[in-house]
Amino acid sequence: MVQMWMYATAFSLLALPIGAAPWTLRLLPETASEAVCLDGSRPGYYYRPGRGEAASSFKLHLMGGNWCMDGDDCLQRSRGFLGGSTAWPAEPPHGGSNGSWDLGTFGLMSDAGTGKFANWTAVWFMYCDGSSFASHREQPLLVNGTKVHLRGRAILDAILDDLLLTGGLAHAQTVLLSGTSSGGMAVYYHAEHVRSKLRTTTRLLAAPDAGFFPDIDCAPGQCAFRDALKQLVPFWNVSTAAIADGYPGLNAQCVHANAARGETWRCLFAEYALAYVSSVPTFVINSLYDPAAMVSLLNMPCVFNLSSCSSVQMQTVAQWRETMASKLRAISAMPHRGHGVFASACSQHEETCRDADFDAITIRGQTMAAALAAWVDGGARTLVDDSALGANPSCWLPAPTAEDPHGSC
């Protein structure tokens, strides 16, 4: 097992000269005993120091990778890299170097080029709890004689505390909290909590990618996704009772507002959680045609190959696009919050973790990278792609390759 190495707490020592800086795995110390992965191993994160004056700004990425929905599911997950740390290498695996998984430390998290974020200190929160860092069961589940731990909230807090104590986060000027897929959902859930952990003079911004799974109208008995979220609330132990010891695992105001009528599940939908994100300006990055969201909510596997969809199914896809566009445009209209939106017409799930997406997907002449940078600098940016499906050429890039990887992000 890779041992955590100690380093200077004075932030001035963390700012390296201009030049390549490696990622390093840091496992949490055993003293963080409440924070464990599904399999009981120590959680951790990959850390790359920034360069020059930009090192005082941080980009914190919450890794995604779906959820586990019940004991058997979580037990199965605990046997892989999304459930335990024993197989995590000292540096993020790329190009198949680990045989079975790569990390998508590209795009927004890259240190290449001269973009606004290239020289920022970067932190990749490894995902090993299966709950978007939201679960908190005091006792492990016993599944077929094996203990399975659901301690996502403790993992999030322990990593933040470690970064504040030893990683320079206590002295950060600006922090950008990002995440993709279930990690993008985690950004909506935890932005206000992360805000509460930082010093008041630190500017916190958020940029969730592919975490906006909308709550759509559905007939009774046909609301499988919503029903699944309702089951997750007790399974993860998300409740107002947990607030007494600090944090319920989702946006606390949202939980307070919805728990009394038995609707805490609403806080697992990005659109409802974001309504309670008042102190963290958020730049929502999402495709209008995210196939993972459409499969989850519409149960239409053909969206991964749209040419196989029937005419009736394509009408449903068109209706989905209008719903997404309407919901996403409404975000920027939230008063006094400074939110922004970059909503592409690409049929793609996750768009910030490949260079050729982050630096190339374009809406009305502005790339995703440029739009996010402009928004961080104080500009209001709401870009919703008006292109028809398949009409924006910046979407249709070749599939990821060894030279242009995507990775698990």
CATH of the domain at 189: 3.40.50.1820
Q: How confident is the model at residue 239 (pLDDT cuts 50, 70, 90)?
A: confident
Say what the pLDDT of residue 337 is: 81
Q: Which of 11-15, 229-233, 396-400, 401-405 has the lowest mean pLDDT?
A: 11-15
* Helix (H), strand (E) at residue 57: strand 57-62
Residue 57 has pLDDT above 60, yes or no: yes
pLDDT in tens, 17-34: 445 579 999 999 988 788
Question: Does the predicted model carry a pTM greater than 0.85?
Answer: yes
Q: Which of 146, 133, 135, 125 is nearest to 76 (CA)?
A: 146
Domain for residue 6, yes or no?
no
Q: Which of 110-114, 262-266, 291-295 has the lowest mean pLDDT?
A: 110-114
Report the number of distinct structural domains present in the chain. Answer: 1
Sheet holding 340-344, edge to edge: 24-27, 44-48, 121-125, 57-62, 174-180, 203-209, 283-287, 340-344, 382-384
Domain for residue 206, yes or no?
yes
Say what the pLDDT of residue 4 is: 26
Q: List the end-to-end C-alpha distance of the chain, in Å, as a whole number.
A: 23
Say what the pLDDT of residue 332 is: 83
pLDDT in tens, 197-212: 999 999 999 999 999 9
pLDDT in tens, 161-191: 999 999 999 999 999 999 999 999 999 999 9
Q: How confident is the model at residue 93 (pLDDT cuts 50, 70, 90)?
A: confident
Range of the domain at 281: 11-384
Using CA atoms, how far apart are residues 272 and 326, in angstroms rounded to an integer? Answer: 15
206-225: average pLDDT: 92
Say what the pLDDT of residue 18 is: 46
Domain for residue 394, yes or no?
no
Domain for residue 403, yes or no?
no
Say what the pLDDT of residue 399 is: 61
The residues facing 366 across adjacent strands are 363
Domain for residue 393, yes or no?
no
Say what the pLDDT of residue 31 is: 80
Domain for residue 397, yes or no?
no
Domain for residue 316, yes or no?
yes
245-253: average pLDDT: 85
CA torsion angle 182 63 43 84 (round to 10) = 70
Domain for residue 79, yes or no?
yes
